[in-house]
Amino acid sequence: MARMTTKWIGRVMRWAAAGLLCTVLATRAHADLAADLARVAVEAAGGRAAHEALQAWKADGITRVGEQSVVFLLYAARPDRVRIETLGEQGSLVRSYDGERAPWRKDGPLAPPRRLGRAEELEFVREADFDSPLYEAGARGVSLDYAGEQTVDGRLCQKLLATLRGGALVTLYLDDETRLLVRRDTVRRSGGREVVEETHYADHRPVAGVMLPHLITAKRDGVVLHETRIREYTPNPVLMEGFFAPPVADWPRL
């Protein structure tokens, strides 16, 4: 009886080890496929050299929310600096982040700078990365996994799960034909529950050799939240020193 028990324990251990090995190999295969798709996507969007040369850009655009529209200038620079100037009759609203200190805002030319609300601040920092999670993913601390295929807006897409620095998880969809990024899903909290916000990218055109979307649509539960049309990108604009920094020397750090 003891021999039988030992024999079966040995078999169970071998089966368990084989199952674990299959799981590990499948995980590695998915990670390798995800890395390959990321490289292909970067090449399809202009290639590594063009991405590396594009260190910053300025976007002139308009965002529509229902019947309302807002004109804006958006400045972004590697690795995670961003400044948004919303233009209106009473002057501009500025929100900015220099990658080091807490994001700040000014509600008019004469208004004092102030910090964003905590939730807005966290989202602003999370969305500040200049590059897609697909570009130099490993070097930037981004983990990618392959998650199969899915149809998006009538087009077959390859689906990747990206774990960003800090642990945030986003889902990326690559058009199976063009290999361009056409959708990004982010989980957010709204009304005390978690919801998935979809960001759809369309009308890709080259900007200094890099394919950038000129139409960006945010959706939730199939409803359009807002739509942004980029009228013009300016690659590598000349930006003054401290352009993204808060106008206060002792501004708090995150």
Residue ranges of domains in the chain: 43-235
Band (pLDDT 50/70/90 cuts) for residue 110 is confident
Q: Are 69 and 88 in contact, with CB atoms under 8 Å apart?
A: no
Band (pLDDT 50/70/90 cuts) for residue 11 is low
Paired with 61 in beta bridges are: 72, 230
Query: Which regions of 51-180 does DSSP assign to beta strands (E)?
Result: 56-65, 68-77, 81-88, 91-97, 104-106, 114-115, 143-152, 155-163, 169-175
Q: What is the pLDDT of residues 116-163, one digit of tens each?
A: 988 889 888 888 999 999 999 988 989 999 999 999 989 999 999 999
The pLDDT assigned to 33 comes to 87
Which percentage of the chain shows pLDDT scores above 90?
61
Cis peptide before 247 (omega within 30 of 0): no
Question: What region, left, alpha or beta, does residue 120 occupy, with left being phi > 0 and alpha being psi -120 to 50 degrees?
Answer: alpha
H/E stretch holding 123 reads helix 118-126
H/E stretch holding 89 reads none
The pLDDT assigned to 90 comes to 56
The pLDDT assigned to 10 comes to 52
pTM for the predicted model, two decimal places = 0.84
CATH 3.40.50.2300 fits 43-235, yes or no: no
The pLDDT assigned to 221 comes to 87
Instruction: Convert 147-157 to b/e letters by CB count within 10 Å (16 or more is b).
Output: eeeeebeeeeb
| Sign of the dihedral defined by the CA atoms of residues 157, 160, 164, 170, in that order | positive
Closest CA to 87 of 64, 70, 111: 70
